[in-house]
Amino acid sequence: MNKATLSATAVASALALSVPLAPAATAAAWDQPRNPEQHHSGRAVPFTEATVTAEADGSFTLAWKAEGVTRVEIRANGRVVARGAATGRAVVTGLPAADRQWFWFEADRGQGLRLADRLVKLSGTVNLRDAGGYRTENGQWVRMGEVYRSDALNHLTDEDQAKLRRLRVKTVFDLRMEDERAKDPDKVPAGADYVVADVFAGSGAFPSMPRTPAEAERMMIDAEKAMVSGDGGKKAYGQVLDAMGEDDERSVLFHCTAGKDRTGWSNAALLTALGVPRETVMADYLASNTYRKAANDALLGHLPPQQAAVYKPLLDVRAEYLNSGYDEVEATYGSFDRYLKDALGIDHRELKRLKKALLVG
């Protein structure tokens, strides 16, 4: 390992080590991008749990739990594909190929939910996910199809870019550093605005590369704190959150290199601001370990065991990393609301606008 002092660029790259991405299956046209029923207001969502999981065989597993209802009906492509009681599970097969399959969950009272599997499969990414589909502490839900988090977009194919256009992506926020952007420039879908939101801009020099797993863990924790209190992070995350409430007809995508650290805090800040429980935010954050497992294993498998042991903490996301970000918020700002206002420029009025744009119920 290089023991010399590294630039912020080098550390940012260490936070997002990756290998060439294996192609993933592509599919046909997107389903309707938005269900008009989703805009009904003033009605509570009775669902306390609802998920869609795309299975490897092309089927979809639907699961739900709702309060105070007797009947649940689920539609896809305009027809009923599952029915059940307040709590249920169904496996749906035989649906036509689609780039992203949407399901409309509706009970015999209250507002329905439009949901899909969280992962968006592209040939050039492994960690492009929908930020929505989570329930808040007060019973609202974060809309799906509005905000996306991703790893780098430099491997996108023409078809990938076409799919992102069909996702209505209006703005791509690139959280990476200058050297990363120059080495692997994004392939941005036609018609989308490309915005540099460099989280580590102006951060100067970081400590040398770690020599032990413990040093690697400490570097990740310190980097998370820098994302919260560094000037670059405050500006970048303020830009991203501010853009999300501006236009509810098209979508926002933000990404770094691996889509796990800088992107992870961006999504954690968003979900926390919207009122999603901390344990749910943590589960979303840790899911990068699942989506990036094949790429990470491939990289570690090419390293000598001692070196792999040092690199593994850099490739992982771990609860202590994200928790260090929350600890930094508390230590520096006193509360998350103060962090939003003082660091990111999201005051009460802006937060209300963000919630109106992204919450259902």
Report, as residue numbers or ranges, the catalytic residues.
256
Name residue 57's beta-bridge partners.
none
What single-letter amino acid sits at 21?
Answer: L
Distance (Å, rounded) from C-alpha 116 to C-alpha 133?
A: 8
CA angle in degrees (0–180, nearest 5) for 187-189-194: 75
